[in-house]
C-alpha cells in the first residue's frame, strides 16, 4: 500500500513555513480582481439569485457564462443527433416490416417503341418511375426521384443519359449511376420481368455506389 503520510521534508508537521503557520485563509479562493461590479445587496456574486449570476455585468464573468452555456447548447445538439440516428433505426425497422413490394404490370412489350419512354408508378402510387426501351430493344427502368434533392429526372435516350434539370445532375442510362453534377448515389433501379408479352416491375434495388 502506498504511504500517504506527508513527507516532512516538504510538508513540516505543523504546516509551519519560514514566515510561520499557514493561515486558514490560504485555502480560500483569492478575490477576483477583474470583477468590479458590486450587486445592490452587497453580497458576493456566488450568493446572488440565479438570474443575476447568469447575466453578469462584468465582461470576464460574462465570457465565462457564455462559454459555459455554449457547452450546454452543444450537448443538446449532440442529443439531437442521437435522436436523428434513432429515427433512422426506426425507419429501417418499418421498411423491413413492409417487406418487398408486390409485382405490378407496366405495359405490353409491343406497345413500347424502341427509343421511347414510359412513365408509371411503382412500388406505390405516387412513386414516379420511368421505363426506357433502347434502340436495341433492351429495357431499363428507374425511380424518377433524383438522389440529390428528389427532383424528377428526365430520360434522354438519344444521349444515353437521364438528366436532372434542377442542379444539372446526369445519370448513365445503362447503370443509373451519377456521371455529372451533385448527385452521389445511383438512381433506384426498378427490376423488370417480361411475362407473356407484358413488362412487369418486380422489385426495387437501391444502391450506395
Partner 1 sequence: MAPGGGTAGQAHDGAPPSRKRRPFAREQRLTVVYGMLMFIFILVLLQLWLLTATMNAFLGSDESVIWPAAGASLVCFALNLGLLGHLYAMDRKRQ
Binding site for partner 1 (CB under 8 A): 5-6, 8, 11-16, 21-22, 24, 26-30, 32, 34-35, 46, 60-61, 63-64, 67-68, 70-72, 74-75, 77-79, 81-82, 84-86, 88-89, 91-92, 147, 184-185, 205-209
Please measure the distance between the N-terminal and C-terminal CA atoms of the chain and give it in whole angstroms: 60
Q: How far is the CB of 147 from partner 1 (least distance, A)?
A: 7
Choose between 196 and 209: whose C-beta lies nearer to partner 1: 209
Question: Which H or E element spans position 111?
Answer: none
H helix or E strand, kind and range, residue 78: helix 59-98
Least distance in Å: CB of 102 to partner 1? Answer: 18
CB atoms within 10 A of CB 166: 15
Query: Of 180, 116, 118, 121, which is closest to residue 145 (Cα–Cα)?
Result: 121
Considering beta carbons, is residue 5 or 113 the nearer one to partner 1?
Answer: 5
Could you tell me the CA-to-CA distances from 78 to 41, 74, 87 in Å, in that order?
A: 39, 6, 14
Query: Closer to partner 1 at the Cβ: 177 or 195?
Result: 177
For the bound state, the minimum distance from the C-beta of residue 67 to partner 1, rounded and expressed in Å, comes to 5
- DSSP-derived 3-state class of residue 177: coil
Rounded to whole angstroms, the Cα distance separating 137 from 92 reads: 37
Of the two residues 74 and 102, which places its CB atom closer to partner 1 in the complex?
74
Closest approach, Cβ 150 to partner 1, in A, equals 11
The grid coordinates listed for 43 are 453580497
**Nearest distance from C-beta of residue 97 to partner 1, angstroms:** 13
β-bridge mates for residue 203, sequence order? 191
Nearer of residues 126 and 208 to partner 1, judged by Cβ: 208
Amino acid at each position: 500500500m502506498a504511504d500517504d503520510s506527508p513527507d516532512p521534508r516538504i510538508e513540516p508537521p505543523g504546516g509551519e513555513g519560514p514566515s510561520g503557520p499557514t493561515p486558514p485563509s490560504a485555502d480560500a479562493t483569492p478575490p477576483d480582481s477583474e470583477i468590479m461590479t458590486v450587486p445592490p445587496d452587497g453580497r458576493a456574486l456566488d450568493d446572488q439569485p440565479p438570474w443575476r449570476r447568469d447575466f453578469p455585468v462584468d465582461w470576464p464573468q460574462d465570457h465565462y457564462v457564455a462559454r459555459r452555456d455554449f457547452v450546454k447548447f452543444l450537448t443538446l445538439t449532440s442529443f439531437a443527433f442521437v435522436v436523428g440516428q434513432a429515427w433512422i433505426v426506426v425507419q429501417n425497422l418499418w421498411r423491413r416490416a413492409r417487406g418487398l413490394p408486390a409485382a405490378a404490370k407496366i405495359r405490353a412489350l409491343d406497345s413500347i417503341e424502341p427509343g421511347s419512354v414510359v412513365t408509371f408508378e411503382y412500388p406505390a402510387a405516387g412513386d414516379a418511375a420511368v421505363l426506357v426501351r433502347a434502340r436495341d430493344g433492351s429495357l431499363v427502368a428507374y425511380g424518377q426521384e433524383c438522389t440529390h434533392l428528389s427532383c424528377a429526372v428526365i430520360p434522354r435516350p438519344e444521349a444515353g443519359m437521364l438528366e436532372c434539370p434542377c442542379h444539372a445532375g446526369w445519370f448513365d442510362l445503362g447503370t443509373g449511376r451519377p456521371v455529372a453534377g451533385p448527385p452521389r448515389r445511383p438512381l433506384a433501379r426498378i427490376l423488370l420481368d417480361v411475362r407473356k408479352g407484358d413488362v412487369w416491375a418486380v422489385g426495387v434495388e437501391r444502391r450506395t455506389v
